[in-house]
């Protein structure tokens, strides 16, 4: 029996045979595999389970793959989930459309299980690398804030890549990450359409605007959890979350543990280092 704490993969596919094959094979590989028979159910499952990777067919009735991707990328709770399109035929126009919307990869049918597993592994490896890089930030950030407050702001800003063309974008996120901002807010502030901004940021950084918003919030969340006595609810509110459960799910997705459990471990480490 696969534990729900295992890496979660959501397969959104209206063809029952294909969906069941993928779900069964993923489960056999140790993943917590979830199936959804159409786009509407897929969005609901993504919001409920916050999977690590979504595999989604494009041609589906009621809500196609593009509609699913748009819904997930517009919701901060699901915006950073790795997304792989599954399609019977793909053109350059389709690839460009998907990438502009924030897709991470494409798989063309017929797809073998081996190809599917490789694509998933590539997404998970990239995510793990990014997580490791960000996990190295809190200690230096906390130390700086305690001793030199002026430099703490710069330490926080250093999570953003040095891309002059995107400075306005990252400056806006830095100034407003504690507000309930979304891609549309950032796009309006810098004068671009959401689709164009998604493509521009994605092509130059490999991540979406919503992902950068979340990453900035996670830096502040780690600091507040480790260095203050604020409750999880208070921290969530301070960081622009309108729902504490949403914050907790997103934090767990990033760090593998809910905020309170992470705090117990890292506050203990901080006290040991001081001693």
Q: Which residues, 6 or more positions from 56, have their beta carbon under 8 angstroms from its beta carbon?
A: 11, 12, 13, 39, 42, 65, 68, 69, 83, 84, 85, 86
Region 6-24: what's the mean pLDDT?
Answer: 93
Q: What percent of the chain has pLDDT over 90?
A: 39
Residue entry with tokens 């509609």: 67
Report whether 216 contacts 230 (CB < 8 A): no
Region 116-135: what's the mean pLDDT?
Answer: 74
β partners of residue 87: 108
- Percentages helix, strand, coil for the chain (3-state, rounded to 5) are 65, 10, 30
Report whether 43 contacts 72 (CB < 8 A): yes
What is the rounded CA–CA span in Å between residue 257 and residue 249? 9
What is the rounded CA–CA span in Å between residue 245 and residue 249? 6
Per DSSP bridges, beta strands 32-36 and 8-12 are parallel
pLDDT of 149 above 70:
no
Position 108 confidence tier, pLDDT thresholds 50, 70, 90: confident
Write out pLDDT tens, residues 47-79: 999 999 999 999 998 899 999 998 988 777 787
Confidence at residue 147, expressed as pLDDT on a 0 to 100 scale: 42
Position 93 confidence tier, pLDDT thresholds 50, 70, 90: confident
Confidence at residue 191, expressed as pLDDT on a 0 to 100 scale: 82
Confidence at residue 145, expressed as pLDDT on a 0 to 100 scale: 41
pLDDT of 236 above 60:
yes
Looking at every residue in the chain, the average pLDDT score rounds to 82
Region 120-147: what's the mean pLDDT?
Answer: 59
Domains and CATH numbers, the chain: 8-129 (3.40.50.2300), 136-274 (1.10.10.60)
Q: Which of 158-162, 166-170, 260-264 has the lowest mean pLDDT?
A: 158-162
Position 160 confidence tier, pLDDT thresholds 50, 70, 90: confident
Confidence at residue 134, expressed as pLDDT on a 0 to 100 scale: 47
Residue entry with tokens 């914050």: 247
pLDDT of 4 above 80:
no
What is the rounded CA–CA span in Å between residue 190 and residue 166? 10
pLDDT of 102 above 90:
no
pLDDT of 150 above 50:
no
Region 246-262: what's the mean pLDDT?
Answer: 90
Residue entry with tokens 């953003």: 160
């Amino acid at each position: 029996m696969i534990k729900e704490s295992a890496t979660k993969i959501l397969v959104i596919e209206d063809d029952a045979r294909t969906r069941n094959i993928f779900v069964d094979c993923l489960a056999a590989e140790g993943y917590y595999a979830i199936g959804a028979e159409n786009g509407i159910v897929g969005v609901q499952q993504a919001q409920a389970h916050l999977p690590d990777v979504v595999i989604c067919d494009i041609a589906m009735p009621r809500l196609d793959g593009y509609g699913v991707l748009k819904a997930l990328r517009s919701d901060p709770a699901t915006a950073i989930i790795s997304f792989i399109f599954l399609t019977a035929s793909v053109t350059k126009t389709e690839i460009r459309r998907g990438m502009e919307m924030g897709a991470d990869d494409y798989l063309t049918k017929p797809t073998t299980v081996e190809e599917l597993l490789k694509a998933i592994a590539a997404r998970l490896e990239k995510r793990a690398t990014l997580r490791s890089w960000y996990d190295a930030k809190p200690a230096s950030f906390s130390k700086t804030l305690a001793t030199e407050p002026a430099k703490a702001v710069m330490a926080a800003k250093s999570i953003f890549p040095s891309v002059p063309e995107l400075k306005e974008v990252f400056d806006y996120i830095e100034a407003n990450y504690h507000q309930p901002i979304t891609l549309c807010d950032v796009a309006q502030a810098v004068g671009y359409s959401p689709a164009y901004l998604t493509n521009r940021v994605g092509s130059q950084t490999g991540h979406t605007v919503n992902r950068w918003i979340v990453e900035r919030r996670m830096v502040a969340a780690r600091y507040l959890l480790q260095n203050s006595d604020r409750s999880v609810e208070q921290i969530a509110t301070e960081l622009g979350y309108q729902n504490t459960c949403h914050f907790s799910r997103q934090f767990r997705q990033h760090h593998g543990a809910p905020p309170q459990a992470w705090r117990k471990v890292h506050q203990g480490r901080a006290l040991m280092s001081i001693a």
